[in-house]
Amino acid sequence: MERGKIVYFDRPGRQNTRAVVEAVRKRCEELGIKHVVVASDSGQTALKFWEVLRGTDVTLISVAEHAGYAGGDEPSIKPERRRELGEKGVKVLICSHALSGVGRSVTKKFGGISHVEIIAYTLRLFGTEGLKVAVEVAVMAADAGLIPTDQEVIAVGGSGGGADTAVVLKAAHMNNFFDLELREIIAKPRQRG
């Protein structure tokens, strides 16, 4: 039996980012994790992870919101930030959300709720938006071929900016979502906010 330490925060939000970054770095070292996937709409959170993980053999993947998410035809991450991250070796992924996508469009147009939105709301029951986001970006990165599905990875999410949740998981592709294994919680808020 292994005993680990979970970092709990009183509230969700960006003020927890530095503590999450440090906890992730430590867990990467302890478990030999080679891939970290981070939700980072502007790229700022990804830069904070890069600062701590650079010089290691960890591959960092930054996942940004797709074009149209907040309106308009531009993704949330600016081209110059995307270029900066790429030059630092960070892989940047922009794609549709695994736990909303077309299902959200049906809900908005006709009402009701889609299957994937039920999964998203269920993940939120475990504390915050951050856990849902962490699972979601892991699936998105797996679908893009950026992380393996046969090894443990760390996935990081947040609640309205920054990072407040980190988990160790074995990812799965969207078409095999229920093969995903959430193995450890590294950090999370104790309440939704």
Q: What is the mean pLDDT of residues 111-128?
A: 89
The amino acid sitting at 74 is E
79 found inside a domain: yes
127 found inside a domain: yes
- In this prediction, residue 91 carries a pLDDT of 98
Query: What is the reported pTM?
Result: 0.94
Domain count, the chain: 1
Q: Which CATH number does the domain housing residue 27 bear?
A: 3.40.1380.20
Does residue 10 sit in helix, strand or coil? coil
* 128: pLDDT strictly greater than 70: yes
Tell me the per-residue pLDDT of 74-117, one tens digit each, with 9 for 90 and over: 888 899 999 999 999 999 999 988 888 788 888 888 988 888 99
The residue range of the domain holding 30 is 7-67+74-189
How far apart, in whole angstroms, are the C-alpha atoms of residue 170 and residue 155? 10
1 found inside a domain: no
The pair of three-digit structure tokens given for residue 120, joined into one six-digit string: 């998203």
Report which secondary-structure segment, H or E, holds 121: helix 115-124
Using DSSP bridges, classify how beta strands 165-170 and 181-189 pair: parallel, antiparallel or unpaired: antiparallel
Cα–Cα nearest to 145, from 73, 86, 59, 77: 59
Predicted confidence band of residue 126 (pLDDT cuts 50, 70, 90)? confident
Q: Are 152 and 167 in contact (CB under 8 A)?
A: no
The amino acid sitting at 73 is D
In the chain, pLDDT over 70 holds for what percent of residues? 97
